[in-house]
Amino acid sequence: DVKVTQSSRYLVKRTGEKVFLECVQDMDHENMFWYRQDPGLGLRLIYFSYDVKMKEKGDIPEGYSVSREKKERFSLILESASTNQTSMYLCASSKGQGGGYTFGSGTRLTVV
Amino acid sequence: AQKVTQAQTEISVVEKEDVTLDCVYETRDTTYYLFWYKQPPSGELVFLIRRNSFDEQNEISGRYSWNFQKSTSSFNFTITASQVVDSAVYFCVFHRDDKIIFGKGTRLHILP
């Protein structure tokens, strides 16, 4: 069964900490995405990548960075976590143009 | 600019009733993709269907059916004989090149 795996389901971090959210897919998909989901705001795209070592800013990249050193892994980094980054983070992957997305089960991050 | 509108924020129906979720999109593009995703309480987004802009053929899959009408820029989703397990948030998504736009979602409650 093909999958997108996010390393943590729940995470609690302190303000100012550096946070790594890991995402791994086993489908050999070229495209990977990071979204955050907040009540009333829906899903918002943070960053995406169409190839290894490539990254593009989404709609809300401020306060985040990403890393894609291998095709199957796409990491989201919060350099200095803040309370307004408390959210559900969803990773997704897709193949080619217009391919359907496969989502991970999400990481609920709480910054205290 | 592209836009996806799911006017129904929340819907409640009694089990076994039919229910239609509306999706209206705005674009000047001629080539694009539309998707529906389901997000059950577990949090993982599940792919339901993909349509490209040149394929207006409506589709039925079990209790699910989709009505894509380019003339009215609508891509509506109907569940026939609803079941409690259909309770979830449903998202309509527009995708063209680098642009991926999620609707705000419709929360569907199926009451026993």
pLDDT at A5 over 80: yes
Pairing between strand A10-13 and A107-111? parallel
Task: Give the residue from chain B lying closest to A46, CA to CA.
Answer: B100
Task: Give the residue from chain A lying closest to B102, CA to CA.
Answer: A43
Q: Among residues A28, A26, A10, which one has the least CA distance to residue A89?
A: A10
What is the per-residue pLDDT for B59? 80
What is the per-residue pLDDT for A2? 61
Query: Between these two residues, B90 and B59, which has the higher pLDDT value?
Result: B90
- Residue B34 near residue B51 (C-beta atoms within 8 A): yes
Q: For A5-14, A93-102, B70-79, which range has the lowest pLDDT when averaged over its residues?
A: A93-102
CB spacing of A104 vs B102 below 8 angstroms: no
> Per-residue pLDDT averaged across B13-31, rounded?
95
> Per-residue pLDDT averaged across B82-89, rounded?
96
CB spacing of A100 vs B45 below 8 angstroms: no
- Cα torsion through B91, B77, A32, A60, rounded to 10: -30
What is the per-residue pLDDT for A7? 87
What is the per-residue pLDDT for A106? 92
- Strand intervals (E) in chain A: 4-6, 10-13, 19-21, 23-25, 31-38, 42-49, 56-57, 64-70, 73-78, 87-94, 102-103, 107-111
CB spacing of B33 vs A98 below 8 angstroms: yes
Distance CA B38, CA B85 (A): 11
Asked whether the CA dihedral B68, B22, B41, A8 is positive or negative, the reply is positive
What is the per-residue pLDDT for A1? 61
Looking at every residue in chain A, the average pLDDT score rounds to 92
- Residue B4 near residue A63 (C-beta atoms within 8 A): no
